[in-house]
Each structure stands twice: as C-alpha cells, then as structure tokens.
Structure 1
Amino acid sequence: MSSEPMPPDTTTPTYGAEVPLALGDLVTLVRGTTYKGSLVGEPGPALLGLGSIEPGGGFRDTDFKTYGGECPAKLMLAPGDLFAALKGATKDGKMIGSVARVPPLVPSGRLTQDTVKLQFHHRDKPTQSYVYWLLRTPQYREYCAGRATGSAVVALSRDDFLAYPVPAMTPLRAKMAELFDEIETRIALLRETNATLEAIAQALFKSWFVDFDPVRARQQGLAPEGMDEATAALFPDGFEESELGLLPKGWKVCAFTETIDVIGGGTPKTSVREYWNGKLPWFSVADAPATSDVYAVSTEKHISELGLANSSTKLLRVGTTIISARGTVGKLALTGCPMTMNQSCYAFQGKAHDSYFTYFSTRRLVEALKQRAHGSVFDTITRDTLAGVSVTYPDFPVIQSFERVVQSVMERIRENLFQAQTLSTLRDTLLPRLISGQLRLPDAQAELEGALP
C-alpha cells in the first residue's frame, strides 16, 4: 500500500460532520416475528436470526434451520438482501447493529423476532453495496456502541439506526464498495472450494470405514476401486460377527477413548493481565468453524506464554481435534495452527499418530455424544461419556494409509482458510477508509491480487 494516500474527498462530509442524508432516507426497516417451534425443521426458508450474523457484521455460514410455517412476503429474504440485529444476545454489545447480506447459498430466508430487513426505497445494486459496507466500518461500530441501551441485553433503537449519517456515494466510494465486493466473492469461492474438498475426504472415510467398500471388493475377488495393490492388501478380504454386527476381519470394537488421548483445557486467571492478549490462540466454542471449514485457524482471544504456564491447558499441535463439551456441545474443529483451549472443551489426538481419522471418526460420533450429554445446569460431555461410546477400529496401517491419501486434500482446505484470513485482514484494514476517502485504488487492487497465489 502506498504511503502517499489520496487526499480526502472534500466535496462530501466525512463521518461526524453534518451530512445531507441519514440511513432512514434510503431504507425502512421490516421487523421479523416469532414462529412456531413445532414447524422448525419442516421444508421451507432458512430461519435467519442472530446466529446467522457475525458479530460486527457479515453473514455467518452455519447449519440453518428451516421453517415450514407461515412466511408472509414482507418477512422473506432473498440473496443480496440486507438484514441486521438491533439487539444482542450478550452484554458486550458486539452484535447490536451488525448487518449481513444474504448469500447465493441461501435461496430464501425468513426474518425472526431478533432481526430486521433493510427495505431500500430504490433497489439499485451500487447503493445497496455501499450501504452494506458502510455498516461494516469501525466508525459505524463506534456509533452503535455509543448509543447502546440496556443492562441485561444491549440494544440499538430503531431511530438511532435510521439516523446514522450516510456520506454521499462519490465515484471513489462506489469503487471501494466494488473492491470489497470482490474480496467477499473471493472469500466465498475459497469456502465453496473447501466444502467440495471436505466432501471428498468425508466420502473416502465413509467408503473405507463405514461402508467397508475395499473389504467388500476383496471379498468378491475384485480390486478396490481407485486403490493401488499395496493399499488394497492392508484390508481384510472378509467379515466376521461382532457386537456391532458384521465387521472386517481383525478390526476391533472398543471404547472411543481407547483410540485417542483425551486432553482437557483450562483458563488462565482473568485477573492477571500478563496472562492475556499474548500470541497464543485460545479456543472456545465461539471459535468453532463452519463444517466445511474444518480447521480453526484463528481465535477471538489469545493468551501469553506466561498464561499457558500458569493454567491447566496445554499447547495443541496442528491437526488436533477439539470438541466443545459444555453448554453448546458437539462443535468440532481441527487445529490449523498451534493453539490452546478453555475448560469447556476436550482435545483428541489419535493413538495411531493420526489427525484426519480421529477428526472424521469424532464427526460420526457427535450425535451419539450429544444424546448422552447430561448436567444439572448445562449439557456436558464427560470423559465417561466418551468412554461409553463404542467404535470400530481398524489396524494402524489402514489408518495411516488413510492419512496419506487425504493429506493433500486436507492441507488444501487449511491453506484456503489462511488465504481467506489474509483477504479478511486486507478488507478490515481498508474499511475505515470508505468514510475517510483516503485510498489509492490501484495500490489496493495490487494488494488484493498479491493476497492469493
């Protein structure tokens, strides 16, 4: 980025000065309504509530629940529509005012009682894009924080939201919004690629360890499809009875805990400042990635080396499986970089010195573990819960062969996530300049091109 920024656009007011327009001059708000819980999960549009918005802004790609009940047209959302949260689920205020744009992967959505739709007076894509990115700037976040009300749950009033000053959309600002759209598109493409790659690895795991396709092929005297002779020879050529039904000869039925080393997490004392804001990522359930992302490559909070030394947590190597075990249970991640975790999580490292076999095995056990979770206040997965689940366990050479086969696919997923993180950092660095007007677009475009190989 050039050290000689373009002079501010003096033809339009900057943030904080008197401006000719407020957000309410461009949009009205449509508030969502409650819905019948008995119809959740029925075929219909996705329910887009607080969980579908990233704190601070952006669409959160998650497992959406659908709704089969009444959905009036005014409550419906289509790709490209903007919706926002005027209240937060927590006291920190990070959610209030946060805006999201419905992506193409969600063909239709429905507002909930926690979200509002921005209904533009005039639907033109450049204006909608400009407003979307304006409401992602740190200046807008400061505006929301300064007008938050409430003690138990903070909120932003409808009037304050609509009163937000909108600097005129100059040609420079329009071009900047286009640049941010391009960054968002590239991030979305990386995530779509990851979803495809994850599906490939998941399908191979299912073929080998659930459907036992190589064993069935050998039983019939056939060469397993897509497998070299040396790998095929690692699989037995028949089945035998077990407590879980017919399993490949020689494979064991054992407790899940016999296949992994279980590691607990911990939290350094929050009262000791030296323990926090260090360089070590500290994982909590809030950092769990979307399913297709697989890896956690960053966390909201970090601790220091001193904090690590003075807590019960440990530094986890890359490729360790983490599962949330208290409160919101069953959220999974593979560590994409060395990191620590809090006491509400467990980490699993495979006895066969594996990463991917343990991760995909755990994914298949999540529902069983959630059903066995218990607790008087919070649902909790305990070590006894883990020990109470039986699994099919192949010989070490088969596991290690699976690791080798999927390694390139899994590493590609990890690399794509780091590239997406780089693009997100670039976007967040440039966003404040949407209002200030201080940007040299050629330099920004060059930096965008250099963000990907």
Structure 2
Amino acid sequence: MSKDAKKVPALRFKGFSDAWEKRKLGQIAEILMGQSPDSKNYTTDPKDYILVQGNADIKNGWVYPRVWTTQVTKIAKKGSVLLSVRAPVGEVARSAFDVVLGRGVASIGHDDFLYHYLVRMKENGFWLKLSTGSTFDSINSKDIKEAALFVPEKPEQQKISRILNSLNHLIAATQQKIDNLERTKKALRRRIFDQSLRLKGYSDLWENHRLGELANIQGGGTPSTSKSEYWNGSIDWYAPAEIGTRRYVSGSKRRITELGLQKSSAVLLPANKTILFTSRAGIGNAAILTKTAATNQGFQSIVVKQNADIYFLFSKIPEIKHKAIRLAAGSTFLEISGKSLSKIQIKVPNHDEQSKIGKVFLQMDNLIDLTQSKLAGLKLLKQAMLENLFV
C-alpha cells in the first residue's frame, strides 16, 4: 500500500503508532441495499416484521418501530448498522431488532467502529457530496461500496468504539433524565394547578381572576425605519422571532434610541416584572425580561402587579397560551388583542402560596436547564472526539 494512502488521527490512544490504511467501505463491510415491500402488505401489527423505510423510522440513532409488514424483502439482523440512502442521506442508526429494509436504507454490517465512522462521515457532510437525484438526494450501492475511509488495526478500533459507546450511553442517559424531568414537571404542574396537590400549610380555595387583575397588558410598537436617528441606540427592542426556548432574555438583536421610543407606540417594560408574550401567529411564546426593554407590535406583554408572583404566572403560560389561541381572531393571521388577553381567567392562590409554587417550578426549571447544559457539553465532547479520533 502506498505511503500517500496512510494517515494518522490527531488524537490517539497510548501504544498505537501505525498509520491507518485506506480502504473502500465495500472491502470491510457487507453492504445490503433495501427493497421495499408492496404497500398492500404494510400493517400496524407489532407481531409482523418491523419495516425501516428511512429517516422517519430512526430516532436518536436507533430504529424506532413505526410500520410493520407481512412481506419480507431484505432482512437486517439485530445489531445491524443502517444508513439512509435517500433524503436526508447519511443518517445512521443501530437496530435492536431484526428488520425488513425498505429502499430508503441500507445495512452496513454490525461493527461498532464502522457505526461511529459513519456518524463522523455524516457529520462532515461526506454523503451530501455524492448524493444525486432530480427530485431528491440519494446514493446508490456503488457510492457506498466505493466510499474511501481510513482504518486502524482491530485493537485500536475496539478502543475507539468502547470510549464512544460509553459516551453515547452517557448522552442517552442524560437525555432520558431530561425527558423524565419534563414529564415530572408536566405532572406536577397539572396536579398543583388543579389543586389535587397542595403545599403544606395551605388549604384556602384558589380564586378566579382575570389576567388584567394580576398584570398590566402592554403592547409594543415600531419606530419609523426610515429615520436613522431612531435606531442603533441603547434600548433593547424585541421582535417575536427572538422569543423561543429561553426562559430569560436580556439582549435583543436590534436596539432603538430614546427618540425612537418617544416617536413610536413602543414603551419601556420593567425588568424582572415583565413576561414577554407574543400575540400574533406563534401566539404565546414567552420569556421573562431581565433587562428593561421595548418590543414591536407583535407582543402583548404581561407586566406583573404586586399581587402576583412572576414565576407563578410564567408557569401558567401554557394555560394562558391555550386560552389565548382560542380567543385569537384574524383573517390573514391569528392575533390576540391586549383587551382579550386581559380578560382571560385563571385560578390563583394568595400571593404567599403563589410565591412558594413559583419557587418550586423555578428550581425544577433550573435543574432541567442544568441537565440540558450537561447534555450539550457531552454532545460537544462527542463531536470533538469524532473529529480527532478518526482520520
């Protein structure tokens, strides 16, 4: 084998120094292309054969049974490495079952090392460079068999596989913890808010209140975009697209000046007392404002009064959102007015109990965020290892 066909990875286990050898995927793995059964043989009966047709049947790197079939075309055994060959090309999964392969997938042997190598190839966009198709991207048997990769001797392959397998297990366990926390939070919210679960020392009935009795509802506005003196100032100015999964916001993409604020219907909203609440298509996306700011007219923000706890109300957002969507009106797009939002009724306890309930949900959300940060760190570590443990 020629010298230029050999390489070494950037990160290596002690005791290994030999160059990796360039091979074709078809030389080191048995490639089995899928063949779809007749659709008349598809079923929903788990007693039949699991059918894997493509990415829709893959979840978190594993086959996720969705469709079954009575017709066997091509079989991939339990533990097989599967590769999607139609858009999106390059998704990789393992199968915990014997499965029938549809034409959207191929089986690439059973090897752990190859599984991780294929994941790296996908992350690097390897298959996208090869995919063809006038209607959608795809790769064929030749593309797969001719794909070039560099491989070390078996002992090094096994060490790489073990460490990446361990990391995958840790990632999966962390994701499971997040899922469990989310389910616990959902169940806790339901039981606390229907009062079937009460905090110790509290027994008074909750009372119905209009949202407008608990908070001032404040709309926003946009300064003239043709006036440069209204823009690029020091005042944060939010658009609905900036409100997503974050609980807190403290810095907007665009800012306005004091003059821009004065010359528009935008108003300053107080920090730590305001829940930004989107009021147009995508109604009910919310975040707590931690720095004084203004918004455009796509919001009806909830400025909490002294008789309400901000995190208690923030924990009520799913309920408020549901009711707001039902009340929303509009021929072009749905919108909830400040007047309508203020009339939404919710059950609330006294302020002291609100505060304690708010702290319960705050602690749970903090724990979820902490676990999500851990998961993000593990995924970054995996990405770095995939980049440096392979050639």
Could you say which TM-score interval applies, normalised by the shorter chain?
Answer: 0.5 to 0.7
Q: Deviations over 1:119-176 (max 9, x none)?
A: 355x4xxx1x22221122158634223223357x651322323432243353223212
**What's the CA shift for 1:97?**
1.5
Residue 107 of structure 2 is aligned with which of 119, 122, 125? 119
Q: Percent identity?
A: 12
Partners of 2:86 and 2:104 within 8 A in 1: no
Asked if 1:413 corresponds to 2:359, the answer is no
Question: Which whole-Å CA distance do the structure 2 matches of 1:256 and 1:39 have between them?
Answer: 52
Question: Which whole-Å CA distance do the structure 1 matches of 2:81 and 2:45 have between them?
Answer: 24
Partners of 1:320 and 1:347 within 8 A in 2: no
Report matched runs for 1:140-219 at 5 Å: 141-150=124-133, 154-159=136-141, 160-168=143-151, 170=153, 171-210=155-194, 212-213=195-196
Residue 308 of structure 1 is aligned with which of 254, 269, 273? 254
Report matched runs for 1:2-151 at 5 Å: 5-6=11-12, 10-13=18-21, 18-22=22-26, 25-30=29-34, 50=55, 59=61, 66=66, 70=69, 72=71, 82-88=81-87, 95-101=88-94, 116-121=104-109, 123=110, 127=111, 129-137=112-120, 141-150=124-133
Secondary structure at the aligned position of 2:107 is classed as strand
Partners of 1:139 and 1:432 within 8 A in 2: no
Secondary structure at the aligned position of 1:402 is classed as helix
- Call closer, same or farther: CA 1:147–1:21 in 2, change over 3 Å: closer
Q: Deviations over 1:323-347 (max 9, x none)?
A: 8975xx6897979x99xxxx9x979
Residue 208 of structure 2 is aligned with which of 227, 234, 252? 252
Normalised by the length of structure 2, the TM-score is 0.60
Question: Which whole-Å CA distance do the structure 2 matches of 1:283 and 1:77 have between them?
Answer: 47
Question: Which whole-Å CA distance do the structure 2 matches of 1:201 and 1:368 have between them?
Answer: 20
Question: Which whole-Å CA distance do the structure 2 matches of 1:30 and 1:265 have between them?
Answer: 56
Corresponding letter in the other structure for 1:12: W
Partners of 1:260 and 1:358 within 8 A in 2: no
Residue 204 of structure 2 is aligned with which of 230, 236, 239? 236
Q: Deviations over 1:239-283 (max 9, x none)?
A: xxxxxxxxx4xx2254699769688999xx9xxxxx9xxxxxx99
The equivalent residue for 1:279 is none
Question: Which whole-Å CA distance do the structure 1 matches of 2:139 and 2:91 have between them?
Answer: 13
RMSD of aligned alpha carbons: 5.7
**What's the CA shift for 1:307?**
4.4
Partners of 2:218 and 2:301 within 8 A in 1: yes
Report matched runs for 1:257-272 at 5 Å: none
Question: Which whole-Å CA distance do the structure 1 matches of 2:165 and 2:345 have between them?
Answer: 46
> When you count strand as a share of all residues, which structure comes out higher?
2
Question: Which whole-Å CA distance do the structure 2 matches of 1:389 and 1:75 have between them?
Answer: 60
**What's the CA shift for 1:429?**
0.9
Question: Which whole-Å CA distance do the structure 2 matches of 1:402 and 1:46 have between them?
Answer: 47
Partners of 2:81 and 2:108 within 8 A in 1: no
Corresponding letter in the other structure for 1:168: V
Q: Deviations over 1:44-90 (max 9, x none)?
A: 97988545668xxx5499xx8955x64656689998554444344xx
Corresponding letter in the other structure for 1:165: A
Q: Deviations over 1:352-383 (max 9, x none)?
A: 45346534x34457777777889889xx6533
The equivalent residue for 2:387 is 432
- Call closer, same or farther: CA 1:98–1:406 in 2, change over 3 Å: same
Secondary structure at the aligned position of 1:309 is classed as strand
Corresponding letter in the other structure for 1:308: R
Asked if 1:382 corresponds to 2:335, the answer is yes
Partners of 1:22 and 1:165 within 8 A in 2: no
- Call closer, same or farther: CA 1:420–1:409 in 2, change over 3 Å: same
Partners of 1:261 and 1:350 within 8 A in 2: yes
**What's the CA shift for 1:322?**
8.2
Partners of 1:194 and 1:416 within 8 A in 2: yes
Partners of 1:356 and 1:403 within 8 A in 2: yes
Question: Which whole-Å CA distance do the structure 1 matches of 2:75 and 2:286 have between them?
Answer: 32
- Call closer, same or farther: CA 1:384–1:331 in 2, change over 3 Å: closer
- Call closer, same or farther: CA 1:321–1:98 in 2, change over 3 Å: farther
**What's the CA shift for 1:402?**
1.0
Asked if 1:404 corresponds to 2:359, the answer is yes
Corresponding letter in the other structure for 1:408: Q
Partners of 1:96 and 1:144 within 8 A in 2: yes
Corresponding letter in the other structure for 1:155: D
Partners of 2:54 and 2:104 within 8 A in 1: no
Secondary structure at the aligned position of 2:119 is classed as coil
Residue 347 of structure 2 is aligned with which of 393, 407, 411? 393
Partners of 1:255 and 1:389 within 8 A in 2: yes
**What's the CA shift for 1:109?**
8.7
Give the number of the structure whose alpha-carbon radius of gyration is greater.
Answer: 2
Gaps spanning 5+ residues in structure 1: where? 89-94, 215-223, 238-247, 270-274, 276-281, 289-294, 298-304, 437-453
Partners of 1:43 and 1:66 within 8 A in 2: no
Secondary structure at the aligned position of 2:131 is classed as coil
